[in-house]
Structure 1
Amino acid sequence: MYGLSGLFGIDRRLACRFGQSGKRVPNLPPDFASALARLIGLVASAAALRPAVSQHLSSASPLFLAGFTFLVFRQLALTAHPHCARSSSHPRLTMSNRRSNANRIRGPNSALTDFLAANNISANQIRDDYERRREQAAREAQNSAPQTPDAASSSNNDAQEEVEAGPSSASTRKRKASEIAAEAKNLAKIKKSKAFQRRKAQRKAQAGDSDSDYDDALARDMYKKSQPPPGQLENCEICNKRFTVTPYSKTGPDGGLLCTPCGKELAAEVGPSKKQKKPAGQTRRRKLESDRMDATYKPQGAKTLEQLCIEKVAKHHNDIDEFGDLPENVLERIAEIFSKKRVLTPRTLKLFLRSDLDSVAVHDAAYLETEDYNELFANVPHIQKVIFRNACQFKDENVEYMLDKCKNIQYLQLYASNLVTNDVWHQLFKRQGQKLQDVKLQWLDAAFDDDVVKTMVKSAPNLVRLKLKLCRRITSKSIDYIAKLKNLRHLSLQTSAEVPSERVVNLVGCVGEELETLSLEHFLDANDDVLDAIHTQCRNLCKLRFSENDYCSDGGFAALFTDWANPPLRIADFNSTRDVDNSNPNGPEEAIGLASDGFQALMDHSGQKLQSLNIASCRHISHTAFMNVFDGQKIYPELKTIDISFCNTVDTVVVAGIFKSCPNLERLVSFGNFSVEGVVVPKGIILIGVPKALDTIEQAGITDFDVAVAASLMEPLEQASNMMVDVGA
């Protein structure tokens, strides 16, 4: 870098050139001279100038100081841009600059500083442009907005004060003029606001007259109390400190804004504000649709007192110490609500434990640990009914503790208890099998194989209800073992293993005569022989589920329900019984699964007593079959829930026919039926799944029955008439 000693070695030449030769030079303005003196003082103190230079600077004239400053800035420019030194007449200084450039220590510069310097952006220029725009806006506002009398008098007073005080700078006069114009504009805007008119009307009603002076005072008061926008600076009303306004700034007692410390103190004194209550009747949409999907929503009437109390208990579960002597059915309902809301924890579990209870239902045990199960069995020693779902921490030690403490278990329902080993399963059925009547096991992957099923059948001959679903380790051998249970009344099986149709026929032949409910899911190899065995052996069924099969034919289903000696079914579920062939979506000529003939035979046999019908994904049922069943003339008085999802032939006319033929219908599910459009839902019915993007998934009916059916049929009739007109033309 160009050395300071080299730079200030030219002090004698400066002295001869600027005023030290005895010539008189013109005086510079005092402000400029003082500013230069301060600048040179800073440079002198920072550079540790030689005494001779300091003496020259202290006794130099203002013109000398100006010349010296010019040389300093010129040298700084040469330092910043070394290529400019090539044209300099001092090669020695340039070489010195290059030698010392590598050793110079620079302070930290921000990215913004480097960017502004690289793009030649000046802060002074930005400020000048901003001031020019403000003055221009003030002049335009002054020319456009009329002055109020108060503002005019204020302007005259300010002008008089300026005359008395003497001349001032042009910038000060412009600033005052812009402030006066801005205030006049704001006052005029406030007078046009609704808040001003409201307060003016209140004052007029009280005083009986209107005064323009009062209007100006009121407008000025409202202007002073108006809150500035976020990001602006404002003085705190209490401590008068300057702070930046934010959207969270508190309002003071007199309407002004408060800084953050004063706002916190005021909030602590006032206390927490109460949340504004929502208007009655405005239920959240998500909660409403959740209730509809859970079939707990009732379109007519208010909720029962019991339901309201249960919801209130679930909401404030952390504040409850005990439930008292509530009935078991209410406790079970509360447990279901707790499980749905995921609040059934080790703490809330203690609310359900009483020594006089004989059943405990934990529908979501995901938050329970191993010791919680032991505590449950210790507090309820006379338990007979055990329900644990999602029992992921239910282990061997818990089963052993249960067998030691609870001797009368008759009902056992365990879901996802995969930490129980095969040895403990054998021990459970051997020690408790004689008393077991109901066993429901689901989602068992690690254990529970065919040998355990064999032990269960041998040790628990009195089983009345058996449900085994998604137990991965059981095979077709278990079907033969289950066929030996002669006292079964309720059987539900779902397996992922391949089970030959002959073994299923043998199972139905052995236990079907006494069965009241039969559920066979995902038996892919079952054929028409299974349906024929059900037709021959089963005489007491009220519920039949045969789903997820693509082997049985429509003729087999029709033969099942034709001249069947079984009483009419209450629950019928044949979902996903259809042919699966992407290359032939219409299916073979001889329909596979429940199709038109089988569906009509089902409704002819069980339609008068049927309460629940599920034919989802039975896509080979024709539109004619639907219209023959739901024609409005045949009445199904007890049918309450229907699922016709993904039946391609269902349209608006079919849905309207269902409304007409099922007077007590409560719930209709129709996902994936894109021909259903413009349905008007009757009062008391919930329609779920109609594919309209702008509508809710569920539609609760509020229209009278006849009007809804007529409105639903209107659009198809209009379309048909238009087609007839087109054909005639």
Structure 2
Amino acid sequence: MSRNHIIIGPRSALTDYLASQNISASRIARQAQARREAASTATAPTAAEGEEGAGEEAAPEEEATQVSTRAQKRKAEAEAIRKIKRSKAFARRKQFERASKGKKGSRVGEDGEEDEEYYLAMDMLARDPEQWAPVPGQTENCESCQKRFTVTPYSRAGPQGGLLCQKCGSVLAGSDQAAKKKKKRATTSGPAGGGRRRVQSKMLDGQIGVRSLVTLCVETLANNIGLADDLGDLPPTALDSVARHLSKRRLLNPKTLPLFLQPNVEDLSLYDAARLSSDDYVRIFQTCAKLKNLKLRNAIQFNDDVMKYLIGRHITLESIYLHGANLISQASWAEYLQAKGAALKGLRVYYTDKHFSDEVVQSLQTHCPSLTHLKICHNQQVSDEGIRHIAHLRHLERLSLQFVQMTSTEPYVDVIRNVGRNLHTFSLRMVPDVDDRLLDALHEHCRLLTKLRITHSEKMTDAGFARLFKGWKNKQIASIDLELCRHVDAEQPRQNRHNVGLCSDGFRAMMSHSGGILRKLNVHGCRHISREAFEDVFSADKVYPHLADLEISFCEEVTDFVVGSIFRSCPNLKKLNIFGCMRVKDVRVPKGRILVGMPNAIGMVIEGDD
């Protein structure tokens, strides 16, 4: 056996294998050097020698690229080997290997020691290649563009194992990010039409299951509204749906406004007019000469100039709905009502600050004799005096009030005594100081109510609500909202000795009176309704066939059994809100129903599949 084939002492598996195959590191180096010299002196593309390259001829550009890539790899490997041999770790490893053989300082063959060092360095490089990579501060050639650059801790590795400069690394990072996004979109699970939040938003809007063709067409139109020149002869419901979609996406602006303006338009509803200027409002009245019903939300630029232009036009509005138009002065309101109030049947104003005052409300009696629908919401100026003026509007059928100033009970009682017999809707928000006298007046004078709302009451009692509904000659009510009618005591919030607010007896009386036709019920925050009252109202022998929307959030006595009873007693229930009902732990939701506010890790909205 020749001396080059002798294997002495324990070695790594790589070292033993290379030596047994008669592979010498020095010979490999000499052959590599010869190939590099041949490649550098070549003047024309040549076919690779040997069996692997027989009969094949590479393109000059491809061969040059391959030679350059191989040269970079060899150079990087040689640099790493030199770095390893100069390291203390290599010296310790070499000393350990020799000690384990038991023959220190012995040479094995002509190139034995050189081979041993080479194999040992290659083994260390294979075990931890990142440790021997170029350190920050050194200079390297970019694998992609071949430019010289300084290595930093953020230098990226290229696909061939080399390093990339900052510019090429940024390009590679962008490609990786785009690939990740594409893969994420392709592998995203869940129902079609968007992510979890978008699907849940549609569920809360009532879109359960397959959307109708009209809905798909409206959404497509809203997504491509910039390409539309005219909405054509769309029916009013479809036109209103388009306006809602545009407003939801904040796409209603001076460019899209003309799509809704036609000379024959009688009803115009813009649900987000915040991006419209006063000139745009003037353009509405210039174009829509037959306009009768106007609804504008977030009409922040609807000012005195627009009102004066409206007064000067031959436009007689029967209904006006203004939200956020707090730039209209009290004088302009008085002038408009005097000039156009005779034909006005509906007046709804929201967030008008201090300009819609008691004097303006008083003028309604004189200038608006046909007024049937009045809604004043979030007003800072109207007081008890203005409420007394409302009592003289004899033709009122729908009345909704919400004031910032604290109001008392007597003005509301006066209103009910005078106009209560004709009211179909009666809504009071934020009335903490109003007491049971109003409930007694409703019981005595109202017979046509279909919608009742009294919120944030801190003086009305459970006995007053029970008296209201027991033996009431008013027909059954379809919508009832008694949100936060409860006892409020910062020191002892759970103790309610006088049964302030809507409690068990009032809840039983309400459901007994209107449960057969009730469609929407809100008892949010009425925390003194007992568990026994819920179980009695939604017992096995009770059915509420029309109830579709129920709000019982923060009713602390609601349990799993109560929620299950509600689903059983309300076969057409679509949405049930239970925020703050911490005793609800595990409820099986029927298919097609929406449970909102489940206090667990599943989510805020659950659509049943049972």
Question: For 2:348, what is the secondary structure of its paired residue?
Answer: strand
Q: Does 1:361 align with 2:269?
A: yes
Q: Which residue of 2 aligns with 1:400?
A: 308
- CA offsets 1:490-541 (integer angstroms, 9 cap, x no match): 1111123333322211100111111111112222332222111111111111
Q: Verify the 8 A CA contact 1:148 1:184 in the aligned structure 2.
A: no
Q: Point out the more displaced range, 435-444 or 272-281.
A: 272-281
Q: Which residue of 2 aligns with 1:682?
A: 590
Give the TM-score normalised by structure 1. 0.64
- CA offsets 1:224-260 (integer angstroms, 9 cap, x no match): xxx99999977556653345699898989x9998767
Question: For 1:600, what is the secondary structure of its paired residue?
Answer: helix
Q: Point out the more displaced range, 241-250 or 614-623.
A: 241-250
Report the residue type matching 2:198 in the other structure.
K
Q: 1:145 to 1:643 in 2, by over 3 A?
A: farther
Equivalent-residue separation in structure 2 for 1:442 and 1:162 (angstroms): 86
Question: For 2:326, what is the secondary structure of its paired residue?
Answer: coil
Q: Verify the 8 A CA contact 2:462 2:505 in the aligned structure 1.
A: yes
Equivalent-residue separation in structure 1 for 2:122 and 2:310 (angstroms): 83
Q: Does 1:143 align with 2:51?
A: no
- Shift in Å at residue 188 of structure 1? 10
Q: Verify the 8 A CA contact 2:307 2:332 in the aligned structure 1.
A: yes
- Shift in Å at residue 189 of structure 1? 11
If you compute each CA radius of gyration, which structure gives the higher value, 1 or 2? Answer: 1
Report the residue type matching 2:206 in the other structure.
T
1:194-343 to 2 correspondences below 5 Å: 235=141, 239-243=145-149, 278=186, 281=191, 283-292=194-203, 294-298=204-208, 301-343=209-251
Out of 588, 592, 599, the residue aligned to residue 507 of structure 2 is 599
Equivalent-residue separation in structure 2 for 1:701 and 1:325 (angstroms): 40
Q: Which residue of 1 aligns with 2:430?
A: 522
Question: For 1:552, what is the secondary structure of its paired residue?
Answer: coil
Report the residue type matching 1:651 in the other structure.
T
Q: 1:257 to 1:522 in 2, by over 3 A?
A: same
Equivalent-residue separation in structure 2 for 1:173 and 1:566 (angstroms): 96
Q: Which residue of 1 aligns with 2:605?
A: 698
- Shift in Å at residue 377 of structure 1? 2.1
Q: 1:622 to 1:239 in 2, by over 3 A?
A: closer
Q: Point out the more displaced range, 516-525 or 504-513.
A: 516-525
Q: 1:400 to 1:264 in 2, by over 3 A?
A: same
Q: Which residue of 2 aligns with 1:202?
A: none
Q: Verify the 8 A CA contact 1:652 1:675 in the aligned structure 2.
A: yes
Q: Which residue of 2 aligns with 1:551?
A: 459
Q: Point out the more displaced range, 230-239 or 337-346.
A: 230-239
Q: Verify the 8 A CA contact 1:383 1:406 in the aligned structure 2.
A: no
Equivalent-residue separation in structure 2 for 1:595 and 1:533 (angstroms): 20
Q: 1:661 to 1:342 in 2, by over 3 A?
A: same
Out of 261, 280, 283, the residue aligned to residue 372 of structure 1 is 280
Q: Verify the 8 A CA contact 1:250 1:259 in the aligned structure 2.
A: no
Q: Verify the 8 A CA contact 1:587 1:620 in the aligned structure 2.
A: no
Q: Point out the more displaced range, 302-311 or 391-400.
A: 302-311
Q: Does 1:416 align with 2:324?
A: yes
- Shift in Å at residue 641 of structure 1? 0.7
Q: Verify the 8 A CA contact 2:399 2:427 in the aligned structure 1.
A: yes
Equivalent-residue separation in structure 2 for 1:430 and 1:369 (angstroms): 26
- Shift in Å at residue 347 of structure 1? 2.2
Q: 1:552 to 1:446 in 2, by over 3 A?
A: closer
Q: 1:186 to 1:417 in 2, by over 3 A?
A: same
Q: Does 1:452 align with 2:452?
A: no
Out of 386, 392, 395, the residue aligned to residue 487 of structure 1 is 395
Q: Verify the 8 A CA contact 1:422 1:448 in the aligned structure 2.
A: yes
Q: Verify the 8 A CA contact 1:632 1:658 in the aligned structure 2.
A: no
- Shift in Å at residue 590 of structure 1? 3.0
Q: 1:265 to 1:548 in 2, by over 3 A?
A: closer
Q: Which residue of 2 aligns with 1:124?
A: none
Q: Verify the 8 A CA contact 2:535 2:562 in the aligned structure 1.
A: yes
- CA offsets 1:156-209 (integer angstroms, 9 cap, x no match): 523667999xxxxx969948977766767888999xxxxxxxxxxxxxxxxxxx
Equivalent-residue separation in structure 2 for 1:229 and 1:700 (angstroms): 56
Equivalent-residue separation in structure 1 for 2:580 and 2:432 (angstroms): 24
- Structure 2: stretches of 5+ with no match in the other structure: 1-10, 35-80, 87-113
Q: 1:370 to 1:249 in 2, by over 3 A?
A: farther
- Shift in Å at residue 448 of structure 1? 1.0
Q: 1:629 to 1:262 in 2, by over 3 A?
A: closer
Q: Verify the 8 A CA contact 2:296 2:321 in the aligned structure 1.
A: yes
**Residues matched between the structures, number:** 514
- Shift in Å at residue 670 of structure 1? 0.8
Equivalent-residue separation in structure 2 for 1:614 and 1:182 (angstroms): 78
1:638-649 to 2 correspondences below 5 Å: 638-649=546-557
Q: Which residue of 1 aligns with 2:447?
A: 539
Out of 409, 412, 419, the residue aligned to residue 504 of structure 1 is 412
Q: 1:171 to 1:488 in 2, by over 3 A?
A: closer
- CA offsets 1:620-669 (integer angstroms, 9 cap, x no match): 11111111001122111111111111111111111111111111111000
Report the residue type matching 2:606 in the other structure.
Q
Question: For 1:433, what is the secondary structure of its paired residue?
Answer: helix
Equivalent-residue separation in structure 1 for 2:22 and 2:211 (angstroms): 67
Q: Which residue of 1 aligns with 2:4?
A: none
- Shift in Å at residue 618 of structure 1? 1.0
Equivalent-residue separation in structure 1 for 2:259 and 2:125 (angstroms): 64
Q: 1:180 to 1:530 in 2, by over 3 A?
A: same
- CA offsets 1:460-481 (integer angstroms, 9 cap, x no match): 1111111011111111111121
Q: Does 1:660 align with 2:546?
A: no
- What is the root-mean-square deviation of aligned Cα atoms in Å? 3.8
1:112-131 to 2 correspondences below 5 Å: none
- Shift in Å at residue 602 of structure 1? 0.7
Equivalent-residue separation in structure 2 for 1:145 and 1:291 (angstroms): 63
Equivalent-residue separation in structure 2 for 1:162 and 1:502 (angstroms): 105
- Shift in Å at residue 441 of structure 1? 0.6
Q: 1:281 to 1:456 in 2, by over 3 A?
A: same
- Structure 1: stretches of 5+ with no match in the other structure: 1-141, 165-169, 191-226, 704-729
Q: Does 1:428 align with 2:336?
A: yes
- Shift in Å at residue 483 of structure 1? 1.1
Report the residue type matching 2:310 in the other structure.
M
Report the residue type matching 1:669 in the other structure.
N
Out of 604, 610, 621, the residue aligned to residue 518 of structure 2 is 610
Q: 1:488 to 1:702 in 2, by over 3 A?
A: same
Equivalent-residue separation in structure 2 for 1:490 and 1:360 (angstroms): 21
Q: Verify the 8 A CA contact 1:659 1:682 in the aligned structure 2.
A: yes
Q: Which residue of 2 aligns with 1:115?
A: none
Q: Which residue of 2 aligns with 1:625?
A: 533
Report the residue type matching 2:466 in the other structure.
A
Equivalent-residue separation in structure 1 for 2:415 and 2:142 (angstroms): 86
Equivalent-residue separation in structure 2 for 1:266 and 1:576 (angstroms): 58
